[in-house]
Chain A
Amino acid sequence: MPADAVLQVTDLDVHYGKGRRRAQALDGVSLEVRRGETVGLIGETGSGKSTLARTILGLVPASAGRVVIDGEEVSGYRQRQWRTLRRRGVVQYVFQDPLRSLDPDVTIADSLIEPLLIRGVARGEALVRVRPLLERVRLDEELLARLPGELSGGQRQRVAVARALVTEPALVILDEPVSALDSANRVEVLEILKELRTSGVALVFISHDLGSVAGVADRVAVMYQGRLVETGTTREVITAPQHVYTRLLIGSAPTLRSGAASRADRDALRAALLTA
Chain B
Amino acid sequence: MVRRILSLRAGRLAAGILSAIALLAIFGPLLAPDNPLGSSSKTLAGPSGQHWLGTDYLGRDVFSRLLDGSRDSVVGAVEVALVALVVGVIPGLLSVYLGRVFEWTSLRLADTLISLPFLVFAVAVTALLGNGITQAMLVVGVLVSPVFFRVSRAATLAVARSQYVEVALISGASVNWIVRRHVWVKVLPAVAVALAQTMGVGFIVVSSLSFLGIGVQPPAPTWGGLLASDLNYLHYQPWAPVAPSVLIMATVWGCNLLADAIRDVSGETGRALINTRKAQANGLGAKRIPVEGRV
Contact = CB atoms under 8 A, between A and B. Distances in A.
* A and B touching (Cβ–Cβ under 8 A): yes
Contact of A95 (B163, B185, B266, B271): B163
A149 B272 contact: yes
Given A100-B163, A118-B177, A147-B271, A105 B171 contact: no
Interface in A235-268: none
A102 interface: yes
Given A87-B172, A114-B181, A101 B167 contact: yes
A118 B178 CA distance: 10
Given A100-B162, A149-B272, A118 B173 contact: yes
A59 interface: yes
A114 B164 CA distance: 11
A149 B269 CA distance: 10
Interface in A57-109: 57, 59, 82-89, 91-93, 95, 97, 100-106
Nearest to B168: A114
Question: Which secondary structure dominates where chain B touches chain A?
Answer: helix
Contact of A105 (B166, B169, B185): B185
B4 interface: no
Of the candidates B162, B169, B174, B182, the one having the most CB atoms from chain A within 10 angstroms of its own CB is B169
B186 interface: yes
A93 B182 CA distance: 19
Contacts of A48: none
A91 B182 CA distance: 22
B281 interface: no
Contacts of A57: 170
Contacts of A88: 172
Contacts of A84: 172
Contact of A167 (B162, B164, B171): B171
B285 interface: no
B174 A83 contact: yes
B66 to A, nearest CB: 42
B213 interface: no
Given A105-B268, A147-B271, A149-B268, A95 B167 contact: yes
Contacts of A83: 172, 174
B267 interface: yes
Contacts of B167: 93, 95, 101-102, 163
Nearest to A91: B170
B267 to A, nearest CB: 6
Interface of A: 57, 59, 82-89, 91-93, 95, 97, 100-106, 111, 114-115, 118-119, 147, 149, 163, 167
Given A105-B186, A118-B171, 5 more contacts: A84-B172, A101-B163, A101-B167, A103-B182, A119-B172
Query: Which A-B residue pairs are the 7 nearest by beta carbons?
Result: A86-B172, A87-B172, A115-B171, A103-B164, A104-B268, A100-B163, A101-B163
16 contacts: A59-B169, A82-B172, A83-B174, A85-B172, A86-B170, A103-B181, A104-B267, A104-B268, A105-B186, A106-B181, A106-B182, A111-B164, A114-B168, A114-B173, A115-B172, A147-B271
